[in-house]
Amino acid sequence: MSLKTRVVALALGLAFAHSAVAGPGLDQMSGFLKGLHSLAATFDQTVLNTENNHSGRFEGQFLLKRPQRFRWNYTAPYEQDIIADGRWVWVVDKDLEQVSQQSQEDALRGTPAIVLLADTDINKSFEVVELGKHQGEYWLELIPRDPEGPFERIQLAFADNMLKRMETRDKFGQISRFVFHGLQRNIDLPDDLFVYTPTPELDVFAH
In this prediction the pTM is: 0.81
Mean pLDDT of 59-84: 95
What is the model's pLDDT at position 207? 79
Percentage of the chain exceeding pLDDT 90: 59
Residue 84 in any domain: the answer is: yes
Residue 199 in any domain: the answer is: no
Mean pLDDT of 93-117: 87
What is the model's pLDDT at position 194? 97
Among the residue ranges 47-56, 103-112, 181-190, the one predicted with the least confidence is: 47-56
Residue 205 in any domain: the answer is: no
What is the model's pLDDT at position 113? 82
Residue 116 belongs to a domain with what CATH number? 2.50.20.10
Among the residue ranges 1-15, 109-123, 175-189, the one predicted with the least confidence is: 1-15
Residue 197 in any domain: the answer is: no
Mean pLDDT of 176-200: 95
The total of structural domains in the chain comes to 1
Residue 24 in any domain: the answer is: yes
Among the residue ranges 54-58, 66-70, 152-156, 190-194, the one predicted with the least confidence is: 54-58
Residue span of the structural domain in which 39 resides: 3-183
Residue 162 has pLDDT above 50, yes or no: yes
68 Ramachandran zone, left/alpha/beta (phi>0; psi -120 to 50): left
Do residues 100 and 4 make contact, with C-beta atoms less than 8 angstroms apart? no
Q: Residue 19 has what DSSP assignment?
A: B
Mean pLDDT of 162-187: 94
Residue 120 in any domain: the answer is: yes
- Residue with more model confidence, 85 or 108: 85
What is the model's pLDDT at position 22? 66
Residue 20 has pLDDT above 50, yes or no: no
What is the model's pLDDT at position 42? 97
Rounded Cα distance between 197 and 66, Å, is 20
Residue 90 has pLDDT above 50, yes or no: yes
pLDDT in tens, 109-148: 878 787 788 777 788 888 999 999 999 999 999 998 888 7
Contacts of 69 (CB under 8 A, 6+ apart): 84, 85, 86, 117, 194
